Amino acid sequence: MVRILIVYDSRTGNTEKMAKAVAEGAQLVKGVKVIVKKVEQTAVNDLLNVEAIVMGSPTYYGQMSSKLKALIDESVKIHGKLAGKIGAAFTSSGGTACGAETTLLSILQTMLVHGMIIEGRADDKHYGAAAVGVPKEKDIESCRELGRRVATLTLKVKT
């Protein structure tokens, strides 16, 4: 059994909907336990007790939210202990060309600094799942697919 932690921040509920869809996708894979937590309910030690971490944030000025960034900043206390864990990201934004990709990359960059293995995608949504405004069905499906892919990769690497 591998454990996946989905940590998210959501002011309007859009990113929360995406987090739940990522969890749905991951739960489709046998041998996976999924934990979904709001960032303010997440402690740095929670990052240690799982094999994969998926982080989601609204896009604010092309960056992740300050709440998610605060958790990441606090993770300096466990630097080096996340190496080899699987990581992925998702975001919601207010419009097109509003910084969704830079938000995803800012999350993934911190995961790389921790030595994590990033789940990418060659065909579409290379850096993670993204939605504009309220997630539409195609966005929800992209989140489910992200969850499924993270779960599958985690099982491959960790078992």
pLDDT value of residue 28: 97
pLDDT value of residue 47: 98
CATH numbers and ranges of domains, the chain: 2-158 (3.40.50.360)
For 47, the token pair is 């990052």
For 99, the token pair is 């910084």
68-75 contacts, C-beta under 8 A, 24 or more apart? 68/7, 68/8, 68/9, 68/39, 68/107, 70/39, 71/7, 71/39, 71/42, 71/44, 72/107, 72/110, 74/44, 75/44, 75/47, 75/110, 75/114
Cα distance between residue 56 and residue 8, in whole Å: 4
Pairing of strands 52-58, 86-93: parallel
pLDDT per residue as tens, the chain (159 positions): 999 999 999 999 999 999 999 999 999 999 999 999 999 999 999 999 999 999 999 999 999 999 999 999 999 999 999 999 999 999 999 888 889 999 999 999 999 999 999 999 999 889 999 999 999 999 999 999 999 999 999 999 998
